[in-house]
Amino acid sequence: MAIIDGRTLEVRTTKSVNSSAITVKNADNDAIEIDPATSGTAIKMSLKEALLDGKTYTVEVTGLGSYSFKGVVVNGGIEVASDLVTFSGWNTTDFVVKVVYGGTTYFSKVVGSDISIANLYPTLADAESDTNGTTFAVTVGDNDYIVEVYRANGTAPVYGAKVSQ
């Protein structure tokens, strides 16, 4: 098993397997949904949440066994207060903030000089145009969630943190 980036793994096996035979579980022992479906002896898997630093994850391959490892995405000083997100070096032009809840990724909105999660959006374009948003309270409620921070042109998270409510 190899960590490609904070949301991508490559699972290597001695015999060809289908990705449906592979389960990745987070530190809470919940299965993390995986894209795409494929088969082979080296399967690259995009996960639906970041591999958070200090948390233990497990890859299970049906009929072949399991392997545990630690996540790599550091916290970066992420704080959430009054629906506003801050982190090390934050600004509203160089970063994109996403909220992951229930295996679904939502986008935050830049409001003035702040990054707000008061409303969550299905795409970055929706967040930028303030369309198709739902309130954080309706989407997440009082449940725990993950905040992921990306460079504006990046595909892998640079920071991530689980937020307990």
Residue 149 has a pLDDT of: 97
Q: Is the pLDDT of residue 77 over 80?
A: yes
- Residue 31 · residue 24 · CB < 8 Å: yes
Q: Is the pLDDT of residue 150 over 90?
A: yes
103 pLDDT tier (thresholds 50, 70, 90)? confident
Task: For residues 40-52, give the mean pLDDT.
Answer: 92
Average pLDDT rounded to a whole number, residues 127-147: 94
* Element at 125 (helix H, strand E): helix 124-129
Is the pLDDT reported for residue 102 higher than 90? no
- CB 155, CB 6: distance < 8 Å: no
- Over residues 79-91, the mean pLDDT reads 94
Domains assigned to the chain: 2-70 (2.60.40.1130), 79-163 (no CATH)
Tell me the CA distances in angstroms from 164 to 5, 33, 52, 142, one per residue in order.
24, 21, 14, 9
As to burial, measured by CB atoms within 10 angstroms (0-12 exposed, 13-18 middle, 19+ buried), residue 55 is: middle
